[in-house]
Each structure stands twice: as C-alpha cells, then as structure tokens.
Amino acid sequence: MTERFTELIRILSIPGVGPRRTLDLVQRFGSLQAIFNADQKQLTQIPGITAKIAGAILADPDPEVIEGQHYLVEKFDVQLISIWDEDYPDILKQIYDPPIVLFCRGNTDLLQRKSIGIVGTRTPTRYGKEVAAELAADLSQQGYVISSGAAKGIDTIAHQSVLKVEGGTIAVLGNGLDRVYPAENRNLYEALGDHGLLISEFIMGTGPDAPNFPRRNRIISGLSAGTVVIEAAERSGSLITAYFALDQNREVFAVPGSIHSRQSRGTNQLIRQGAVLLENADQILEELGERFRLGSSQGQQALEISMDPKEESLIKHIPSDDPIHIDDLAQTASQTTFALLGLLLQMEMKGLVQQLPGKYFKRK
C-alpha cells in the first residue's frame, strides 16, 4: 500500500469535499499531503470549506477504511487512475468537475481513444433495441469506443453489441466496482472486465444510491465527443446526460421516435431544442467535424414550458440580480451540487435561468 493510495482514499472519503473542492484545495495548497498538513483557518478560507468540513479533513484517516479499500482493490483487480496521472483521459479533464480518481477494471487503454456515449431508456421498444444495437456496432467498427452506464435497456444493448463485434466499450458505474447493479448484469460486468473497461469514481463498497447516477452521467458525456440519446421519457436520466453534454460543449444526437411513444417524448424534445436528428452512424462522423451546441441559434425554437415542482422550489433560491455560485446554491437549497447540475441545465434549456462563467447562475 503506497502513501499515494492512502492520500487518495482519504480525500475521497471526506463528506462535503467532492471533485471541484478537492481541485480548489490542491490549487491553493499544492498537493494532497499539503492539504492534510494545513490548519483549520487556512482551510476555511477556501469557498465552501466550512469548519465542519475542515475538521473532517484534518482528522486522522481511519486505518480500517484504508485497509478495506486496499483489500477490495486487490481482490477485484482494480487500478486507480488519478487526475494527476498521465493516463487520465485529457477530454475528461476539460469538464467543470472531473472525478479526482477513476477506479478501473479492464483495459485502461480505452480511456485514450475517441469515444461516443450512447444512453437511453431502461424499457426500450423493439425499435429502440434495434437502433441501439446497430448504431453501437457501426460506430465501434469505425474505431469509436462506446461509453454507457451498464443500466438495463439501451445501455446494456449498446455494450453487448460492441462486445459482439469485438470493439471497445466503457461502462461508467454509479456504484463501487465490487458491486453489480442491476444484479442481472453480472455476466455483462464480467465480460466488460475481461474485454472492455468498467470505471467508477466511487470508492469500493459504494452502493447504487440515487444521487450517484447524475454524477455517473456527467462522466459518460465527459468522456465522449458526442452523446447519442435513444428513446428517453420526458424526465429521464438520459436527458440529464444530454444536458451535461450541453454544459460540456459536446455534441448531442437524438434518435427520433413515434409521437405516440412515451419512450420517445424526451428524444423528440431534444430535437426540437436543437439536438442533431440522428438516423445513422455516418451522420455522427460528419457532425463531429463541426462545432454544434445544443441550444444555439441553429434551429432552436422558443418553447413555453411550465416549471415542475422541483424547478419551482429551486428558483426561489436563485436571484435575478447578483449571480449565485452553484456551491452556495446547493447549501441554500439543501441539495448536493450534483443533484442541482441536471436540474439547472434543464431550467437553462427552458430559459428560466442563465449560467455565467465559473458556474454562477441567475434568474432570467
């Protein structure tokens, strides 16, 4: 067990720190070790670091946690790649809150290859299944790695289709690499570990809790030059992934569906809002040579969309004059930053809020 391993697990185990604040701390103090050697007054000068969080940073590391993580990493043949390592993917460093550590099981060389994200509903129609399998295989044979979330439905079909053509595929998990979720995908996990790559930013033993999946989604889009959405309901996790792609200035593609299909309401909505209407893999190859931002003036139509209860609750905390930083908004609204990101991007798409540089937001 190395000192570096201990430092990484220690910082990941502190509640309330997270990727963005960890990077702010390292920028201020120079290294993880220097953070742990700082005093409370120095730490609380960093935005978002309260006295309670500072106390947790300065507390002695729990040897049982460190040893337990080391045991599980060894048992499941997991490799840790930190944001300061050369083999950390450059494209992922470009997002606002890149994961500090990627827990990896499988072929880490896939992290250095160009990637397309494919996401969609957990309950696809026959049409959705056929499109997902075809697009994933075609893109894989064009040399793209396919990134998805190993969830039921479209995710699983995309991974399986790539494995069949012996291509490269990355599964980004919302839990620790020692946990299988959903349980029915155990065989897929094993195949991905042997012939693809499983990654997670969560320490070993982390369960598949609901707040983890928006965090997982930003990594899928962050790894990818573009994200393809195949069948998504109006308020699905797949749309959150698309909104993350928007925020990361990546390409967004949506497969159109029947106006009578519940599974296609979200994708059809994305198309109305400016996503590329996708019919085949060749379109992706063509579009990736150009800059296209979902929500730009290219074909964007103004939509009058009412606020849902979550949006109505959040907008009360967003001023219309002085912008508020997302970390401060999270504290005011008693929510996590990751939970707010998807909701804020959805509200931005509706024209309810405006995002300013540095993750500041104000009401429009």
Residue with tokens 């201020």, as numbered in its chain: 28
Residue 325: pLDDT band (50, 70, 90) is: confident
Q: What is the pLDDT of residue 306?
A: 53
How would DSSP label each residue in 296-309? SSSS------PPPH
Q: What is the pLDDT of residue 349?
A: 62
Token pair listed for 287: 């579009």
The pLDDT of residue 202 is above 70: yes
Report which secondary-structure segment, H or E, holds 170. strand 169-172
Q: What is the pLDDT of residue 304?
A: 37
Residue 332: pLDDT band (50, 70, 90) is: confident
Q: What is the pLDDT of residue 302?
A: 31
Quick: pLDDT tens for 129-170. Answer: 999 999 999 999 999 999 999 999 999 999 999 999 999 999
Q: Are 343 and 314 in contact (CB under 8 A)?
A: yes
Q: What is the pLDDT of residue 289?
A: 67
What domains does the chain contain, in order, with CATH numbers?
3-75 (1.10.150.20), 104-287 (3.40.50.450), 309-363 (1.10.10.10)
- Give the angle subtended at the CA of 108 by the CAs of 174 and 188, to the nearest 5°: 50
Share of residues in the chain with pLDDT > 70 (%): 93
Residue 360: pLDDT band (50, 70, 90) is: confident
- Pairwise CA distance, residues 216 & 99, whole Å: 10
Residue 170: C-alpha distances to residues 137, 280, 329 (Å): 14, 21, 33
User: Which stretches within the chain are classed as H helix?
Assistant: 3-12, 18-29, 32-37, 40-43, 51-58, 63-75, 90-93, 126-141, 154-164, 186-195, 212-223, 237-247, 265-272, 281-287, 309-315, 326-333, 337-349
Token pair listed for 147: 């990134």
